Amino acid sequence: MDDSTSLPMLTVPHDVFRHGLGTLKDDIGQQHVVEAIQKNYPRQQEQIRQETMRSVYGSALPARMALERQILGRVQRLPGIESSRLGLDSLTGKLDEFDFDTYLNRPTESEAIPTDMHSLMEAQLNLQTKPASRGI
């Protein structure tokens, strides 16, 4: 059986209250070729930019910018609260971009029920929650 088209095995019970109704078919990572290209494009452009800076300015500047990106990438608010990441956006040049994510798909304007902050912190800290036992 081909692993790329087979359904994944359910190893832990699915928590319907926290994650909603779901199917195993939703977890398959099959994607279209164009979607893969669009997903990898920013990373490839960043690699090209790093190689260009390394050849023009030497290896110290890309290393310094990578360190600054790591420092600015760690700054965030509690889970469930939107972080602007203004410093990281200014370093990467995303402040100049204006796409549909800028004005659409904002978490504050979502119709979906917001996720519980306790569940988000448990996920961030890798704390395992035991499934609730049912009394028979």
Q: Give the span between the Cα atoms of 48 and 104, in whole angstroms.
A: 30
Model pTM greater than 0.95? no
Tell me if 120 sits within 8 A of 81, measured CB to CB. no
Q: What is the mean pLDDT of residues 6-33?
A: 69
**Which of 51, 96, 50 shows the shortest CA–CA distance to 69?**
50
Residue 67 confidence (pLDDT) above 90: yes
Q: Give the span between the Cα atoms of 73 and 7, in whole angstroms.
A: 35
Q: Give the span between the Cα atoms of 136 and 124, in whole angstroms.
A: 33
Q: Give the span between the Cα atoms of 20 and 116, in whole angstroms.
A: 13
pLDDT tens, position by position, 91-124:
888 888 888 777 777 767 777 777 777 888 888 8
Task: Give 30's pLDDT tier (boundaries 50, 70, 90).
Answer: low
